Structure 1
Amino acid sequence: MTSLRVALLQGPAGTPGSGRDCLAALDDAARRAAAAGARLLVTPELSLTGYALGDGVAAAAEAADGPSPRAAARIASRHGVAVVYGYPERHGEAVHNSAALVGPDGKTLAGYRKTHLYGGYERAHYTPGDQLVAQADLEGVRVGLLVCYDVEFPETVRAHALAGTELLVVPTALMRPYDIVAETLVPARAWENQLYIAYANRTGREGEFDFAGLSRLAAPDGSVPARAGRGEELLVAEVDTGRLPASREQNPYLTDRRPGLYTA
């Protein structure tokens, strides 16, 4: 299979701090995504808890196999759709801003800990991850994970491209006034690395944060097959990885690299 129908959830995805509310929002989104024929649902950054937790981050954090991740897996299985969700992950004494991919059978396929923390709020509450590339195969498509600010670094997306990622999934919490990230940078990353990027953002206000919306699917030809506005929305679009060989031949950035020149 070279085509994968993907749904991107843009919204607050539940009330910050209310795990039950966030899981209810995830369940509703998974139901709608499955009804639209999607095989993968991508939700925003920290979708199981909300972003604006303040000093409640540590209390909300759970292990990768904790109650909320298990509930998210059951939702994926119940609706028969793979799901990418975000959550504060507790690992020993550390708390990570993490994302996980579970398959349509509810089995965990990949987990990723945000490697580039944005601003004082995140640096005060989270520990950065140290593994740059997390991937899994989903119905014949190589899916990779990053979180929000990570995609703004050219090195992170290039590492995925070199590792064979075809669809890069990015749960995000992009804030105003940084619309340029969604509108310009994300399509450029897809073009220069010859892969698809599914960028699912939060929207509306949470405490001091004002989220930009503007979720989108960016394609390797520089186009944006699906894009959201400012409000709540469920985007559905096709990822056709069968187009990648021809696109990469026409735009051979990966093969024309000269890595020997790129050392510090």
Structure 2
Amino acid sequence: MKLALAQIAVEGGDVAANVDRATDAIESAAARGADLVALPEIFNVGYFAFETYQRNAESLTGPTLTRISDLADEHDIAVLAGSIVEDLSLTDGETPAEEGLSNTSVFFDRDGRRQAVYRKHHLFGYESAEAELLVPGESLGIAEFEGVTVGMTTCYDLRFPELYRDLAEEGATLLLVPSAWPYPRVEHWNVLAQARAIENQCFLAAINGSGSYEDATLIGRSTVYDPWGTLLASTGDDPELVVRDIDPTRVEQVREEFPAWHDRRR
């Protein structure tokens, strides 16, 4: 599988420009032969533009996700649109609450069909308004894509290993983490992502944005780890498209070679 991470520049509140950059990244990933491309957290609104969440919130069939769906179909590429601010009152079914806003990722297959929806479980409250503005999700995000079970999480979720163990126990072997991770917590980003890959013996790809908004600057550093915890790809803090081949059979090879996964006792 050829996996692409779209570390795009995200301007707070400028939805049109951000979606245009996401479009360019998807088209570039498809041109480079990627099977799956993943976008950062709240890539259309900008994570730290909290004051714009309400007016820019959309449904699962709103303009941003409709455009992403159309691009997936047009370019024959799966897309993890991770994530947007979803207005739950506009979305029928699959909702954890009748109203409120959610940090929502959607997985589209090559035909632009919605395969899975994930609403961020762990809402960030430290120097952030996310926990005040949004409603947490309750369900696991799992998508089946061409023989690979993909587990969906978001940013702050990285600090909660039990979520990743739940996904791995459900069969996920590729864990995707759209993020808006800021300075100064670079060491946490590196260590937590690698640890989630090692302890679950899965591939893990963390997709961050690039850019600044008021006092927050994203660290970039989108990364891919293999099931042994080996770093396969990484970026700096500038916008970049990372394309990397991953071998799904590597998961079982590592688990057979070093059987920590099979030696678990509950």
After TM superposition, is the score higher than 0.5? yes
2: distance between equivalents of 1:157 and 1:77?
29
AA paired with 1:84? L
Q: Which residue is 1:124 aligned to? A: 132
Q: Which residue is 1:55 aligned to? A: 51
**TM-score (structure 2 length as normaliser):** 0.92
Runs of 4+ in structure 1 off by over 4 angstroms are none
Does 2:179 align with 1:179?
Answer: no
2: distance between equivalents of 1:215 and 1:232?
10
Q: Which residue is 2:66 aligned to? A: 70
1:207 offset after TM fit, Å? 2.0
Structure 2 residues not aligned, in runs of 5+: 90-98
1: distance between equivalents of 2:214 and 2:36?
30
Maintained 8 Å contact 2:116/2:142: yes
Maintained 8 Å contact 1:63/1:90: yes
Structure 1 residues not aligned, in runs of 5+: 260-264
Alignment of 1:17-28 (within 5 A): 17-28=13-24
Q: Which residue is 1:45 aligned to? A: 41
Pairing partner for 2:175 from 143, 165, 168: 168
Deviation larger for 174-183 or 249-258:
249-258
How well do the aligned residues superpose, as a CA RMSD in angstroms?
1.3
2: distance between equivalents of 1:34 and 1:68?
19
Q: Which residue is 1:262 aligned to? A: none
The 3-state SS of whatever aligns with 1:12 is coil
Does 2:155 align with 1:148?
Answer: yes
Residue-pair matches, total: 254
Please list the CA deviations of residues 227-254 of structure 1 after superposition, one character each: whole Å capped at 9, or x if unmatched: 1111111111112111111211222222
Please list the CA deviations of residues 169-195 of structure 1 after superposition, one character each: whole Å capped at 9, or x if unmatched: 110011111112332221121011011
1:45 offset after TM fit, Å? 0.2
Q: Which residue is 1:114 aligned to? A: 120
Please list the CA deviations of residues 193-251 of structure 1 after superposition, one character each: whole Å capped at 9, or x if unmatched: 01111100012211221111111011111101111111111111112111111211222
1:26 offset after TM fit, Å? 1.3
Q: Which residue is 1:81 aligned to? A: 77
AA paired with 1:24? D
The 3-state SS of whatever aligns with 1:88 is strand
Does 2:39 align with 1:31?
Answer: no
Pairing partner for 1:215 from 201, 222, 232: 222
The 3-state SS of whatever aligns with 1:84 is strand
Aligned-residue identity in percent: 34
AA paired with 1:257? R
Maintained 8 Å contact 1:201/1:215: yes
Maintained 8 Å contact 1:83/1:102: yes
1:71 offset after TM fit, Å? 1.3
**TM-score (structure 1 length as normaliser):** 0.92
